[in-house]
Amino acid sequence: MVNRVSRSSENHYLPAHEIRKKLDSREISSSELTNDTISRISAIDGEINAVLKTTAETALESASAADRRLRGSGPEPGPLTGIPILVKDNMSTAGIETTAASRILSGYVPPFDAEVVSRLNEAGAVIVGKGNLDEFAMGSSNEHSAFGPVKNPWDTNRVPGGSSGGPAAAVAAGECAVALGSDTGGSIRQPAALCGVVGMKPTYGLVSRYGLIAFASSLDQIGPITRDVRDCADVLNVIASHDSKDSTSVKAPFKDFGAKLGESVDGMRLGVPKEYLVDGIEPGVRTAFEEAVEELRSQGATIEETSLPLTNQALAVYYIIAPSEASANLSRYDGMKYGASVADGLTTAAEVSQHTRGEMFGDEVKRRILIGTYALSAGYYDAYYKKAQQVRTLIRQEFIEAFGRFDALITPTSPSVAFEIGAKMDDPLQMYLADICTIPVNIAGLPAISVPCGMSEGLPVGLQVIGPQFGDRTVLQVAHAYEQVTNWHRSHPPL
């Protein structure tokens, strides 16, 4: 377990909206809060490894500007003004090294901000650092980072989940109030569940992907990791926007993500897909999920079992589509355009590319590039990639039919609690199965959230709420209603 540190603060585990009350009342300044946040990262992150880089100088400049704004100088402050935020290190930050936790991007300093980073800066948020992740966001445990694994703050012998393990662990450990992650097959929701925090993947296209280092472009989506559901809505109100720089960006048919917070679930129809209660689900996870179901039922929701038969095909579909898109996206890392290069003694561009990619990519990234290249190759494209896209359409249709009967679906977020570091590294299939409950949502482009719903073996369990396309406010409503009558989101590791 992580050792206790002598310095502590009651602000470390407060949600952002409660911190804002302290900022508004002048009980604390953003500069003081930011200094405290950076000090905490320095004190405890050596054992967690959630933060790849702190940005103390620019953060304190942002905090000072936020303090002026909070005192009435400049634009009207918003919910995130003055709040420390960690950004996953696959989002471009101008003038700050951005590596995607890969050696091949070592030394790469983007000349521009990702759209979400620009929107956070405009809102007066304070970006305190870059969060660790599985290399290029490829992983379910955050053991695949070139800069070492992230450790779960509840038990540092265990993984935090992935690929947004750094951001999730940082929020859980009180190293920041809010973090941004990216979710390609569960990479926000699964680590949020394993670390006992809240994490949401919005409807595909609601949040701009401009400046996000691409893994699988038709699946990737940026979203918030927070301590409670209200903070999730507040963050989405800032980062969700139509962006002409992103061809997949859409205009939301609504503005306020928090519009339904506080509304009852009485009379709502919630479905429990039986395929998500897989044979390998841990007993403690099943028990916590069943208790969460009964809690929602006691609030007046009508809850029925349903079936999504194609759930069992979603994992195969994902592991054809995602590696195929990764193979195409990662072809740009050739050792010549930007980032690291292995060129000494080599005379041709092909040799430079081959040696750079061979030495600088990690094993999991290489594995997925090889899978994707094979699936896209002549003679196999129709049998694999084209067929996977056809089944993807059927999965989407299955969800559409389900949402004709239900307002939302509820499932466990992960079939297990956090597993021990190294336990699945030699068995990629078992590692991939860790995302069995989250992958279908990305395949269909739907919104989903994970909220803490219990403990098993002293480790957090997550409840997943899935909504129809653009049903983001309903997802937040259900999650908030559950959260208001439980205290699991207020639990934190004994740091």
* Catalytic annotation, residues: 88, 163, 187
Residue 411 has φ and ψ, to the nearest 5°, of -150, 165
Backbone angles phi, psi at 385, to 5 degrees: -65, -50
Say if residues 44 and 7 touch (Cβ distance below 8 Å): no
CA dihedral sign of residues 478, 484, 485, 488 = positive
Neighbours of 306 (CB within 10 A): 16
**Rounded to whole angstroms, what are the CA distances from 27 to 22, 62, 125, 211, 319?**
5, 19, 18, 36, 50
- Cα separation, 395 vs 242, in Å, equals 26
Place of tokens 């193979």: 327
Instruction: Identify the residue whose tokens are 């409670």.
Output: 228
Tell me which residue has tokens 């709420």. 465
Q: What is the distance between the alpha carbons of residues 97 and 107, in angstroms, rounded to a whole number? A: 6
In angstroms, the CA 54 to CA 38 distance is: 7
Q: Which residue has the tokens 């990234």?
A: 365
> How many whole angstroms separate alpha carbon 258 and alpha carbon 260?
6
Q: What CA–CA distance (Å, rounded) separates 31 from 64?
A: 6
Round the CA-based radius of gyration of the chain to a whole number and report it: 21
The answer to whether residues 154 and 417 touch, using CB atoms and an 8 Å cutoff, is: no
Of 128, 90, 125, 129, which is closest to residue 110 (Cα–Cα)?
90
d(C-alpha 310, C-alpha 319), whole Å:
15
Among candidates 431, 464, 408, 456, which has minimal Cα distance to 192? 464
Strands 84-88 and 178-183: parallel
Rounded to 5 degrees, φ, ψ at 236 are -60, -35
Say if CB 206 and CB 238 are below 8 A apart: no
Q: Rounded to whole angstroms, how far apart are CA atoms 172 and 182?
A: 17
Q: What's the token pair of residue 275?
A: 């395929």
- Whether the ω angle into residue 102 lies within 30 degrees of 0, i.e. cis, is no
